[in-house]
Amino acid sequence: MQAADRYSTQALIHFAQELLQAAGMASVQAEAVARTLVEGDLLGHDTHGLALLAPYIKELESGAMAREGAPDVLSDRGASLMWDGRRLPGPWLVLSGIDALVPRAREYGSATLVIRRSHHIACLATYLLRATEAGFMLVLACSDPAVQSVAPHGGTRPVFTPNPIAVGIPTSTTPFLVDISSSITTNGMSARLHKAGEQFDEACMLDAAGNPSRDPGVLATNPPGTILPLGGMTAGHKGFGLGLLIEALTGGLAGHGRADPADGWGATVFMSLYDPAAFGGTADFLRQTDWIGDACRHNPPRPGFNNVRMPGDRGLARRTEQTRDGLTLFSTIPPMLQECAQRYGLHFPAPMQASAA
C-alpha cells in the first residue's frame, strides 16, 4: 500500500494565505484564516481544515464573506462584550476576540464576547491552545442561524445546526481540548460521505418520515431528513438540551438568530475566558485537573481499548507528528485546491517526497 503524500505545514499555510489574498482578503485576515485551517488538519479535524478553503474562496468571490474591515462594537460593559462581525472571516474574528478578552479576564476573572454575523469559524478546537497556553480556560460555541439540519428530539424537521461547543482546560502538562457537537455527526462529515456514495456505520440520521437511517443523502431529499441529536433515538433529549443551551448562548445573547431572516453561511459565536487565579487559584486549579487526568488515563481500559485518552491527547500527538514529518491531507483536498489555485495562476505545494526527489 502506497504511503499517503505529506506536505510541509509552512508551505500549506503560505499557499492558503496567498490564495486568500489573491481572492481579495486582506493580509492580516488571510494569515489568521490560513493558519487556522491548517491547524484543523494538524489536529485531525480534516472536514474543518483545508477542506474549507475552496468554499471560503467562493464566498469571497461572491461577496458573501467580507474581505477586510473590523467588527462593530455594539456593547461593552467591561467583562461583557458584543460585536457585529459584519460577515468578516470567522477565524480572524475568533482570534481577535480571544485577544480582546485576555486583559479583561485578567482584570475581572472572566470575560465574555458574543459575535453576531460572523462568517464560518472553522474548527473550534484550533482556538483552544491560544487560551490554555496563557493559563486560561476557554468555552467556545457557535451556531449558524442560516442552516437547519438537526431535528429536536422526537421531531422530524430540521431546526438547528450541529451546534458545536469546545472547552480548553489547562493542566500542568497536556491540556484537555474538548470539541463536541450537540448532534451525532456534522454537516461536513455528512456531505463528505454523501459525495463519496458512502453511508454511516450506524444510524446517525432520520429520513423525512422519522425513520432511523445510515444514509447522509436524506439531508438532500424533499422534504429533507435530519441529523439525530447527540444520544440518538433513545437519549437524544441530552443532545437536544445541549443544542438549546448553545442556541441561548449564541443567538439568544446576540439578539440575532433563527428568528431573523437568514443572511448566508456563517456563525453566531459565544466565547468566555476564565482566569483560574481569580477563583480558587491557579495552583489548585491545576492540582484538580492533573488529578482528573491521571485518574482517567490510568483507568483500566475496557475490551477493545488500549488505554483511556483525555480529549485532545490524540489530536496533540498527531499535531506534533505532522508538524515534524509533514501533514497528510484527505484525498479529495489536494485536487480541489489545485483546481482553485489554477484560477488565480497559483500552484498547490508539491508533496514533501516529490520536493526532495
CATH number for the domain spanning 42: value is 1.10.1530.10
Distance of alpha carbon 174 from the chain centroid: 20
Ordered DSSP codes for 157-174 = S--B---EEEEEE--SSS
Residues 6, 9: Cα–Cα separation, whole Å? 9
Does residue 303 belong to any structural domain of this protein? yes
Tell me which amino acid residue 71 is. P
Residues 211 and 278 in one domain: no
Among positive and negative, which fits the CA dihedral 265, 266, 268, 273? Answer: positive
What percent of the chain shows pLDDT beyond 70? 98
Q: What is the pLDDT of residues 253-266, one digit of tens each?
A: 999 999 999 889 99
Residues 114 and 20 in one domain: no
Query: What does the pLDDT read at residue 3?
Result: 73
Banded pLDDT at 72 (limits 50, 70, 90): very high
Q: Identify the domain containing residue 148 by its residue range.
A: 71-180+234-308
26-43 average pLDDT score: 98
Q: What is the pTM of this model?
A: 0.95
Does residue 238 belong to any structural domain of this protein? yes
Q: What is the pLDDT of residues 276-310, one digit of tens each?
A: 999 999 999 999 999 999 999 999 999 999 999 99
Distance of alpha carbon 331 from the chain centroid: 20
DSSP code, position 348: P
Residue 102 to residues 167, 168, 175, 267, Cα–Cα distance (Å) = 16, 14, 18, 22
Task: Provide the mean pLDDT of the chain.
Answer: 96
CATH of the domain at 201: 3.30.60.50
Does residue 347 belong to any structural domain of this protein? yes
Distance of alpha carbon 106 from the chain centroid: 26
Residues 303 and 171 in one domain: yes
26, HSE (Cβ side, Cα atoms, 13 Å): 11
Residues 203 and 271 in one domain: no
Q: What angle do CA 268, 138, 127 make, to 5 degrees?
A: 70
145-172 average pLDDT score: 96
Does residue 318 belong to any structural domain of this protein? no
Report phi then psi at 312, rounded to 5. 100, -20
Does residue 197 belong to any structural domain of this protein? yes
Residues 213 and 253 in one domain: no
Asked if residue 355 has pLDDT above 60, the reply is no
Banded pLDDT at 357 (limits 50, 70, 90): very low
Which residues lie closer than 8 Å to 96 by C-beta, 6 or more apart?
32, 71
Query: What does the pLDDT read at residue 4?
Result: 86
How many Cβ atoms from other residues are within 10 Å of residue 257's Cβ?
A: 18
Q: Give the count of domains, the chain.
A: 3
Banded pLDDT at 26 (limits 50, 70, 90): very high
Report phi then psi at 335, rounded to 5. -60, -40
CATH of the domain at 121: 3.30.1370.60
Q: What is the pLDDT of residues 301-310, one digit of tens each?
A: 999 999 999 9
Strand partners of residue 115: 83, 269
Smallest CA-to-CA distance from 88 within 45, 124, 59 is with: 59
Residues 284 and 252 in one domain: yes
Asked whether the beta carbons of 101 and 271 are under 8 A apart, the reply is: yes
Residues 287, 290: Cα–Cα separation, whole Å? 5
Q: Is the peptide bond before 261 cis (omega within 30 degrees of 0)?
A: no
CA-based radius of gyration for the chain: 20
Residues 222 and 355 in one domain: no
Domain boundary among 170, 196, 227: 227
Residues 94 and 161 in one domain: yes
Does residue 315 belong to any structural domain of this protein? no
Domain boundary among 195, 227, 259: 227
Residues 37 and 82 in one domain: no
Asked if residue 1 has pLDDT above 70, the reply is no
Residues 282 and 295 in one domain: yes
What cell numbers appear for 215 in the block?
444514509
Q: What is the pLDDT of residues 140-154, one digit of tens each?
A: 999 999 999 999 999
Banded pLDDT at 2 (limits 50, 70, 90): low
Does residue 143 belong to any structural domain of this protein? yes
Residues 168 and 248 in one domain: yes
Tell me which amino acid residue 37 is. L
How deeply is 290 buried, as exposed, middle or buried, from its count of CB atoms within 10 A (0-12, 13-18, 19+)?
middle
Residues 218 and 290 in one domain: no
Lowest mean pLDDT among 65-79, 81-95, 342-356: 342-356
